[in-house]
Structures are given as structure tokens and as C-alpha cells.
Structure 1
Amino acid sequence: MEDLEPKKNYISWPILALMDFVTVIGFDDLTYNFQNQGMGVITSWVIMLFLYVIPYSLMVGQLGSVFNHEGGGLTSWVRGTSGEFLGYFTAWTYWAASIPYVVDTANSIVVGLGWAYNGNAKMQSQMSNGWFAFWTLVTFIVFIFVQSRFKRSLEVLSTIGGIAMFGMTVLFVLMTFAGLAAGGHIATQPMNLHTIVPKFDLHYLTTIGLLIYAVNGAELIAPFVTKMRHPKREFPKAMIMLAVMTAFLTIFGSFSLGVFFDGFNLPNDLKMNGSYYAFQALGKQYHMGNTLMYIFAWTEVFYLAALLAVLLDAMTRMLISDTGAKYMPKVLRKTNSNGLPVNGYLLTCGLSAFIMLLGIFLPSMNDIFNWLLNLNGIISPGVTCWIFFAFIKIRQDSQKFPSDYVYIKNDKLALAVGWWCLIITAVATIFGIGPQDVKFASSTWWYELVINFVAIIVLIGLGVVLPYVTRREGRSTTGSAFTRLQWTGILAALFLTIVGDLALGGSNYEHNIVSIVLISVIGIALVIAFGWKEYNLKEA
């Protein structure tokens, strides 16, 4: 007799596709890339869809199936194919990549509140860079506090908010086409085949990373592949459905933006305010004033607030729990009576503050927002490389890594596709380091180029330093890598650096650049001076 009980745990392929879609694309992703490429982004979305998104999603399906006993996480994929240290380093880089993302999310909350309160974009001309950074840091602190008490409800709210954001995006597209059918005007002229073909040049190469950043996230649904009744047959269906929904949203959504914005003459602040401008224009077309914009603004704030609270906790817990004591210092693994990794939270806030301080010296609030967003277009694709690395590893020895679902049965062909995605992602990561939204070779362009390298080196490099700190703990008689005096000196140096940089941050950064560099160098020197020497070593 057929056992019906396991059916309770099965997940249908349409539900899996919807779950994946919420994590992959959103309305803001459309405006970000529309500013980068104009109407040409439509062709880019089509290319990305067939040559990247579908293979990427199907590879994730096989990896999730192979490592189903470990939950299907990215770290477990690399650990299972390449050893413990690379597994740890993957966990670190995945976590480090989320730092610019949460900073960008916090920034977006501040911007969204400005629109929800003012009904326009005047906040960016009224708020200094220092205050923008301050309110972003306050947002972190508030939502870490809120999350620790309302985690379950916020996870539900973020899911509801994600679905609501998808609904607003579909509403925007449908209302735009309804307006055109009623005789509406298209702002982008001429609207022809040449208009939607991008110009393939150096600037285009620097924008590919943000396209990849917009569509990644499919690895989050990997654990659910093994919960399907027939993964071999149903998972490809889910990915086809995902592709159709993504195509609809990206192609028709980008076209809809071209209806309201001239693709050849876009506002400079489209990445920061484009979503609000779009719903404002849509409301004007339907004689609804700012009603649609206010609905979108509060939906955005609601969704991002819940998402930020969950992210701040989830990313920290993932890092602490998914790395062994061999590489992660005890001070970061320490939890309070409620099981919260308090020092991990402090590290998250500290690195987030560091990222904000790098950008605080840019000329304007809009430049900060654009730079942070573009930084995500560098680091996030870089981490996505681990997915293709792990896929290549399992297909190099497919007998050792059997799975219920297999993407491309022929190993050689599968490896070719895996290498294709890895190379494209790596190239996008490298070219993404080049600044995108400022004049080439200007002082701001050079500054952004420098801080791109600084951010990458610090975020990734700290992951190399932590195993050394862990070894110091093991050699110490007190079990601590640093003495109390050393910790006091390190924290004081960091505090003085932050305060000094905040005091000098603003639109006149070019005049303060020597002072900024001097303060930063002094702070780093003090950290090294206080922390370098080891005390209370155990006898060999």
C-alpha cells in the first residue's frame, strides 16, 4: 500500500518557483540597471536569462540535491568538495558580501522614510553625508534590538513584504501598458530595435556585475529541492516558471520605465530615487497625485525594515554557527543568556560603519548611495563564483557525488557550462571594480576606485586574519587573543578613527583627504601597536 504520510512534507514546483522569484528580482533591481544601460538593458536581461540565470539556477538544484544531508548551504558545498578551510573561507566571504548589502538596505530605509514623510526627494539636498551615515548606523542598532525580540514575526513580515513588492511591480507594468493603450506617451524616443541594443564597451563591462547581483540568490532555495516529490521532473519546471516570471518582470518592467523616463537622458539620482519617481509619474498619469508613490514608499520601508532585521541576525548566526572553532575566535562565538552572538553583532555593526565611513567623503548623498550599490555589484558576484566552483568540483568526480537531480547528464558538457558561468562571473567581478556613475578619471572616480579596493581588501582580508587570532587564543594562558589593555587600546584607536573621519566627512573631502588618510593611518598603527605583541603564552 502506498505510504501517504510523506506527502505532507512535499513542496510543489509552482511554490518553489514563487519562493525563488521573491529572492531573485525586485523593482529596485530594474531601476538600478536601467540607469546603467538605459533601454539597452532589455537585451541584457534576455541574454542574462538564457545564458546565465537558467544554468545558474539548475546548477544550484544539483548542488542542493548532492548535499541535502547538510542542508544545502553554499558553505557545505565548498567544504564537501574542497576541505574545511575553504568551507570556512566561503562562509566568511558570503558573510562579508552581505555587509555592503545590509548597509545599502539601511540606506534605502532612510531614503524611503524621506519619501514617505516628505513626498519628494528633497531629503538628499537637506541631509549632510555625516547625518546620512549617522541615521544609517542608528537604523542598524534599532533593528538588531527589534530583531532579537521579534524574529519569527519579522521573518513572516519580510516574506509578506516581498510578495507585496512583487505585486506593486506587476501593478506598475500593467498600469503602464493600460495607460499606453489609452493613448499614453512614451518618453524614450525613438523607440525602435536600435534603442534596445546596448553599447558593448568598457562601461558596459563594468555594469555586468550589478546585473548578476540583481539575479543571484537562487542558492537560498537549494535545501528545498530534496523536498519535492520528483526533483528530476519537477525542479526544471520550477526553473522554467521562474525564468518566465523573471523575463516578464525584467523585459516589460524595463520597457515601462522607458515609458516614463527618457532612456537617453536619465536623472542622475535614478538609482536612489527612481522607484519613487516611477510611481509618482504613474500616479500623475492616472490623476491620483502621490497616492501610488506613498503606497510604494511605505511598502518599501515595511519590507526593507523586516528584511534588515532578519538579515542582521541570520548572516551573523550563519557565520558563527557554520565555521568551526579551529578558525573562528572564541570572542566572536560567545553568546549571551538568550543565545544571541552579541560580539558577532558588534563585528557586523563595526564593519558596516567602516563601509559607511569609506563613502562618507564622497561629494553627495546620491554618490554614497550609488557607490554602495555598485560595491554590491563587485562583492556579490565574487562570492557567487563559489557556486560554480563547487559545481565544477562535483562534475569532475560525478561518481563520488551522486544526486537525485542532475543538470546535464554529460559531464564534459556540464563542466563547459560551469566554467562558462564561472568565467563570466569572475570577469564581471573584476570589471565591476571600475566606478560607474562618475566622470572617468575625475578625482571622485579615482577616490571610488581606491575605496573599492580598500573595501574588498578589508572585508575579505579579515577572514584571513581571524584564524591567526584564533591561534593566539589557543597559545594564551588566559584563553584570550588579546589582554584587556590591548582590547582597550584597539577599541580606543578604532573609536578615535571613526570620530575623526566623521568630523571631516562631507562635500569638501578633496580638501580634507590628507587629514583623512593621516587619521586612518594613525588609527591602524595604534591597532597594530596595541595588538601585535603576545602576552601570557603557554609553554611549548
Structure 2
Amino acid sequence: MTTQDDAKKLRWYNLALMVFVMVWGFGNVVNNYANQGLTVIVSWILIISLYFVPYVLMVGEMGSTFQEGKAGVSTWVASTMGPLLAYLAGWTYWVVHVPYLAQKPQQILIALGWSVYQNGTFIKTFTPMVLQLTTLVLFLFFMWIASRGITSLKRIGMVAGTSMLVMSFMYVLLMLAAPSLRGVSIATTDLSLHTFIPNFDFTYFTTISMLVFAVGGCEKISPYVRNTFNASKEFPRAMIIMAVLVALSALLGSLAMGMMFDSNNIPKDLKMNGPYYAFKLLGEYYGVGNLFLVLYAITNFLTHTSALIFSIDAPLKVLLAETDSKYIPNALSKTNEYGAPINGYKMTAVLVGIIIIIPALGIGNMNDLYNWLLDLNSIVMPLRYLWVFAAYIAVRRLIGQFSSDYKFVENSFAAKTIGLWCFLFTAFACIMGMFPKGVQLYTSQWYFQLTLNLLTPFVLLGLGLILPSIAKWSNRKDSNTISN
């Protein structure tokens, strides 16, 4: 008999849709097509089968193992490797959002420009430094909104995110049908084998971090395990369904992009403006003008705005609330009248401001600046996935200490081997992603971008290593002040 409490719990289909919206977006298709053209179809098959599916099934097993965990990956790491490494995992999950926050204002301005002018000229009117100063002002404005506890934009973002999901699948279906329904010519006319088979050289391997970035993040759903009906069975099932949806979207979406944009002559600004070009052309194919473009631009504007507000607030609160206080200075946990950790916000503002302004000093082209920041996210964001695989390996090493109704692989040695493969592949992808793309080799800009790509992850993660020492000193100082 189903109780009232069971009726309120999430089912596998609820979770599958939630995590799909969290993980996937139309931009993942566009960005990787821009990097690889139609060869990305083979890349998607390889990355999904050899990396994404094991990753998803590991998350399913970890969710089944730690059904009562409230902090997701931090709970997994704390339970298997102790509080210090749990703090470092929590720090990593927060700090990798800094480059993400630095790019969101850019994406908001681009969406706003396409909404109003219905072309990509608005963003090109800025010089890189003026643009970055504008994005910094915009970021500080939204940080002020977040600091006042305004949550309505987060709810709007959920609606916009679901709308974005619908529009993404609409694009794929309408584009695939366009040649037969509307007599549209396929842009990629060379459909020989070399159009689809990647050239596995150095340049290719510098692009795989974007693929890893695209398929990662399903562990973000893990705090909802305890709210899932029959979690040991339905949580893994939701992960599998989500993986199928991602695979379909990636493969069919890339094929649709190849039909619209010549795989051998990809526009240089496809990463920045590609989704807008796509919906603009789709509207022309079906005789509705810029209707699809405007709907997409408005939806994207609301999605990015909400994501910025949420990503300023939520990851920081998780870090401060769920980390042992001896690793975090008490001052960072100070809240204002709206419950926002105001000093933590200030630390965020400083780090984001540095990443917004410094690149503009050496990257003199708006398109290159956008692409660099996107590539930086593909280097830094996957670092958080390393903790998922480390925790999984630790669980399978501690035989008998943890039990789960669902196991991805029964044999512990095989399970640890797969976990190690995913860990090493993620690290390899991040390292290769540090080499600049789309920039002439060994020029001053190439060296400038490479230096930033190398320094940024080390500085961001390094701050997490020194923060416990600062906490020890400042917290002792606060204790002495109180006692006196």
C-alpha cells in the first residue's frame, strides 16, 4: 500500500528529467560541434560509452549506498576519506564556479542583444576591456540581488530551463525534418568517411575537455536521493534513463547541426552565437521569421540570469554550511539580515572580478575572449568530477563497511579499475584542455592564454589549501577576543 509520504517522494521519471535539465543543454551540442564538426558524432559515441555511462552508473551506486546523505559528494567523501578531504571536495565544488560566474554576464548580454536587435552585432560594439567592465558591473548587480534573498528569479529559471529543454528537442526534430518538409539543402555536402572519423592528434585531444564538461555533473542530483521512492532501485534507473536522453540529444543534435552548418567551414563565432544562428535559420526554413530566435533569446536570457543568481548563492551556502568549521574562517559565515553570507560574497566578488578583468589585458578580440572563458570552464569545472571517482574507489576498497542494493559492477577489482580509468581520463582531459585552441601557435596571445589556463586552476584550488591555516589563525583570534 502506498502511504501519503511515499506519494510525496520523487519517482525515477521525475529524477531523470531533473538531472537531465541540470546536466544537459543545447549549448553542449553547439560548442562541441564548433570544436570538431561532424567528427563529434564518433566522439560522442566514444565519450558516452567509455566515460559517461560508467560515470552515471557509479553515481547511481553511490546514491544507493548513501541514501540518507544530505550533502551529496561531500557526504560520500566525508564517509570514506575523512573531514579534511570532504572540505577540499566542498571547496572544489564551490571554487570551480568562479569562471562560470565570470562568463554568465557575457552570456546575459549576448542573449539580451539577440532579443532586442535579433542579430549578433550588439556584443561586437564593445572592446574587450569595456565589455569586461560592463560584465563586472552586471555581476555585482546580480550579486546585490542575491544578497537580498530574492528567489523569484530562481523559480523563473526552472520554468525557463524546462522551456529550453523543449526548444532544444524542437530544434533537432524540425531540422531533421526540414529537407523533406521544406526542401532545405543540407549544408555539409561531403559525407565521406573522413567527415565523421576524428583525426586523433594533439589538436583533437585539446578539445576533449569540452566533451567531458558537457556530460558531467549528474552527481548534483545526489542530495535528492533521500527524497526518492525506493531509492536503491529508482535512483540508478533515473540515471540510466538520463544517460539515454543525453546520448539521443548529443547524437541527433550534432547531426542536425551538420545539416545546417557546413562541417568543413564552421563559422568562427559559432560557440558565441551558434544557438542564435540556428534558431534564426530554423525560423526562416519554416516561414515564421525570427519567432524561434526571439523565443530562444528570451528563454536563454532568463535561464542565464537565474543560473547566475543561483550559482552565486547556493554553492557558497553549501560550502559554508556543510564544512567542518575548523577549515573555514568564522568571518566567512557571517550573514546579513537576509541570511546571505556577505563576506563569502565579497570573496566571490574578488575572485570573479580578477577572472573578468585580467584576460581583457591580453586578449584583444571579443570572440577569442568569449571562447577562452568557455574553454577555461571546460578545464576547471571537470575537476569536481575527480572527487566522485575518488569517493567511488574508496567505497569499493572498504569492502564490508558499506552496503548497497545496487552495484554498478559486482567485482570490486573491476569496479576500482573503472573508477580509476574515469579519474585519470578526467585529469587528462583537463590537462590537455589547457592548451589554447583557435589561436596561432607560439604567439604572445597563445602564451598569454596558456599561462592563464595553467595558473587559474592552481590558484583557485591552492586557496582551498591555505584557507584552513587562515581559519585556524582567525578563529583563534576571535576566541581570544571573546574571552577577553
Q: In the aligned structure 2, how far is the partner of 1:229 from the partner of 1:275? A: 37
TM, length-normalised to structure 2: 0.95
Q: In the aligned structure 1, how far is the partner of 2:71 from the partner of 2:330? A: 26
Q: In the aligned structure 1, how far is the partner of 2:235 from the partner of 2:377? A: 29
Please report how far the alpha carbon of residue 66 of structure 1 lies from its aligned counterpart in structure 2 after TM superposition. Answer: 2.4
Q: In the aligned structure 2, how far is the partner of 1:5 from the partner of 1:289? A: 49
Please report how far the alpha carbon of residue 122 of structure 1 lies from its aligned counterpart in structure 2 after TM superposition. Answer: 1.3
Do residues 66 (structure 1) and 80 (structure 2) align?
A: no
Q: In the aligned structure 2, how far is the partner of 1:422 from the partner of 1:37? A: 24
| 1:341-380 residue CA offsets vs partner (Å, 9 max, x unmatched) | 0111111111111111221120112111111111111111
Relative to structure 1, the CA distance from residue 185 to residue 397 in structure 2 (aligned partners, 3 Å threshold; closer, same or farther) is same
Q: In the aligned structure 1, how far is the partner of 2:451 from the partner of 2:127? A: 22
| 1:292-350 residue CA offsets vs partner (Å, 9 max, x unmatched) | 11111111001111111111110221121122221111221111232210111111111
Q: In the aligned structure 2, how far is the partner of 1:239 from the partner of 1:181? A: 35
Look up the SS of the partner of 2:382 in the other structure. helix
Q: In the aligned structure 1, how far is the partner of 2:263 from the partner of 2:387? A: 35
Please report how far the alpha carbon of residue 142 of structure 1 lies from its aligned counterpart in structure 2 after TM superposition. Answer: 2.2
User: In structure 1, what is the equivalent of residue 198 of structure 2?
Assistant: 198
Q: In the aligned structure 2, how far is the partner of 1:176 from the partner of 1:27? A: 14
Q: In the aligned structure 1, how far is the partner of 2:287 from the partner of 2:171? A: 15
> Residue type of the partner of 2:390?
F
User: In structure 2, what is the equivalent of residue 105 of structure 1?
Assistant: 104
8 A contact 2:109–2:123 mirrored in 1:
no
> Residue type of the partner of 1:398?
I
Do residues 437 (structure 1) and 438 (structure 2) align?
A: yes
8 A contact 2:57–2:240 mirrored in 1:
no
Q: In the aligned structure 1, how far is the partner of 2:28 from the partner of 2:100? A: 13
Please report how far the alpha carbon of residue 442 of structure 1 lies from its aligned counterpart in structure 2 after TM superposition. Answer: 2.0
Structure ranking higher on relative contact order (CA contacts 8 Å, 6+ apart): 2
Do residues 261 (structure 1) and 267 (structure 2) align?
A: no
Do residues 357 (structure 1) and 388 (structure 2) align?
A: no
Q: In the aligned structure 1, how far is the partner of 2:165 from the partner of 2:55? A: 22
Q: In the aligned structure 2, how far is the partner of 1:280 from the partner of 1:471? A: 56
8 A contact 1:39–1:263 mirrored in 2:
yes
> Residue type of the partner of 2:187?
A
Do residues 347 (structure 1) and 332 (structure 2) align?
A: no
Do residues 26 (structure 1) and 25 (structure 2) align?
A: yes
Please report how far the alpha carbon of residue 232 of structure 1 lies from its aligned counterpart in structure 2 after TM superposition. Answer: 4.3
1:72-87 to 2 correspondences below 5 Å: 72-87=71-86
> Residue type of the partner of 2:351?
L
8 A contact 2:210–2:378 mirrored in 1:
yes
User: In structure 1, what is the equivalent of residue 459 of structure 2?
Assistant: 458
User: In structure 1, what is the equivalent of residue 301 of structure 2?
Assistant: 301
| 1:498-520 residue CA offsets vs partner (Å, 9 max, x unmatched) | xxxxxxxxxxxxxxxxxxxxxxx
8 A contact 1:65–1:226 mirrored in 2:
no
1:3-18 to 2 correspondences below 5 Å: 4-18=3-17
Look up the SS of the partner of 2:68 in the other structure. helix
Please report how far the alpha carbon of residue 461 of structure 1 lies from its aligned counterpart in structure 2 after TM superposition. Answer: 1.2
> Residue type of the partner of 1:264?
N
1:187-266 to 2 correspondences below 5 Å: 187-266=187-266
Please report how far the alpha carbon of residue 72 of structure 1 lies from its aligned counterpart in structure 2 after TM superposition. Answer: 4.6
> Residue type of the partner of 2:310?
V
8 A contact 1:63–1:72 mirrored in 2:
no
User: In structure 2, what is the equivalent of residue 492 of structure 1?
Assistant: none
1:59-458 to 2 correspondences below 5 Å: 59-149=58-148, 151-182=150-181, 183-361=183-361, 362-458=363-459
- Which moved further from structure 2: 20-29 or 125-134? 125-134
Relative to structure 1, the CA distance from residue 331 to residue 148 in structure 2 (aligned partners, 3 Å threshold; closer, same or farther) is closer
8 A contact 1:144–1:309 mirrored in 2:
yes
TM, length-normalised to structure 1: 0.85
Look up the SS of the partner of 2:240 in the other structure. helix
Q: In the aligned structure 2, how far is the partner of 1:372 from the partner of 1:261? A: 24
8 A contact 2:149–2:340 mirrored in 1:
no
Relative to structure 1, the CA distance from residue 189 to residue 386 in structure 2 (aligned partners, 3 Å threshold; closer, same or farther) is same
8 A contact 1:64–1:72 mirrored in 2:
no
Please report how far the alpha carbon of residue 3 of structure 1 lies from its aligned counterpart in structure 2 after TM superposition. Answer: 6.2
Q: In the aligned structure 2, how far is the partner of 1:324 from the partner of 1:206? A: 37
> Residue type of the partner of 1:16?
L
Please report how far the alpha carbon of residue 150 of structure 1 lies from its aligned counterpart in structure 2 after TM superposition. Answer: 5.8
| 1:110-167 residue CA offsets vs partner (Å, 9 max, x unmatched) | 1111211221111233101122112212222222233345644333222111111111
Look up the SS of the partner of 1:68 in the other structure. coil
User: In structure 2, what is the equivalent of residue 469 of structure 1?
Assistant: 470
| 1:6-49 residue CA offsets vs partner (Å, 9 max, x unmatched) | 32233221111111110111111111111111111111111122
Relative to structure 1, the CA distance from residue 225 to residue 315 in structure 2 (aligned partners, 3 Å threshold; closer, same or farther) is closer
User: In structure 2, what is the equivalent of residue 515 of structure 1?
Assistant: none
> Residue type of the partner of 1:305?
T
8 A contact 1:359–1:368 mirrored in 2:
yes
> Residue type of the partner of 2:303?
Y
Q: In the aligned structure 1, how far is the partner of 2:89 from the partner of 2:114? A: 38
Q: In the aligned structure 2, how far is the partner of 1:237 from the partner of 1:460? A: 34
Q: In the aligned structure 2, how far is the partner of 1:3 from the partner of 1:287? A: 50
Look up the SS of the partner of 1:265 in the other structure. coil
User: In structure 2, what is the equivalent of residue 507 of structure 1?
Assistant: none
Q: In the aligned structure 2, how far is the partner of 1:334 from the partner of 1:7? A: 38
> Residue type of the partner of 1:342?
I
Q: In the aligned structure 1, how far is the partner of 2:64 from the partner of 2:154? A: 25
Please report how far the alpha carbon of residue 231 of structure 1 lies from its aligned counterpart in structure 2 after TM superposition. Answer: 3.7
Please report how far the alpha carbon of residue 223 of structure 1 lies from its aligned counterpart in structure 2 after TM superposition. Answer: 2.6
Please report how far the alpha carbon of residue 81 of structure 1 lies from its aligned counterpart in structure 2 after TM superposition. Answer: 1.1
Relative to structure 1, the CA distance from residue 226 to residue 333 in structure 2 (aligned partners, 3 Å threshold; closer, same or farther) is closer
Please report how far the alpha carbon of residue 478 of structure 1 lies from its aligned counterpart in structure 2 after TM superposition. Answer: 7.9
Relative to structure 1, the CA distance from residue 398 to residue 229 in structure 2 (aligned partners, 3 Å threshold; closer, same or farther) is farther
> Residue type of the partner of 2:306?
A
8 A contact 2:386–2:426 mirrored in 1:
yes
Q: In the aligned structure 1, how far is the partner of 2:399 from the partner of 2:476? A: 42
- What is the identity percentage for the equivalent residue pairs of Structure 1 and Structure 2? 38
> Residue type of the partner of 2:436?
P
Q: Which runs of 5+ in 2 are unaligned?
A: none
8 A contact 1:54–1:239 mirrored in 2:
no
Q: In the aligned structure 1, how far is the partner of 2:32 from the partner of 2:277? A: 15
> Residue type of the partner of 1:291?
L
> Residue type of the partner of 1:466?
L
8 A contact 1:231–1:404 mirrored in 2:
no
Please report how far the alpha carbon of residue 420 of structure 1 lies from its aligned counterpart in structure 2 after TM superposition. Answer: 1.4
8 A contact 2:64–2:232 mirrored in 1:
no
> Residue type of the partner of 2:228?
M
Look up the SS of the partner of 2:325 in the other structure. coil
Q: In the aligned structure 2, how far is the partner of 1:456 from the partner of 1:7? A: 43
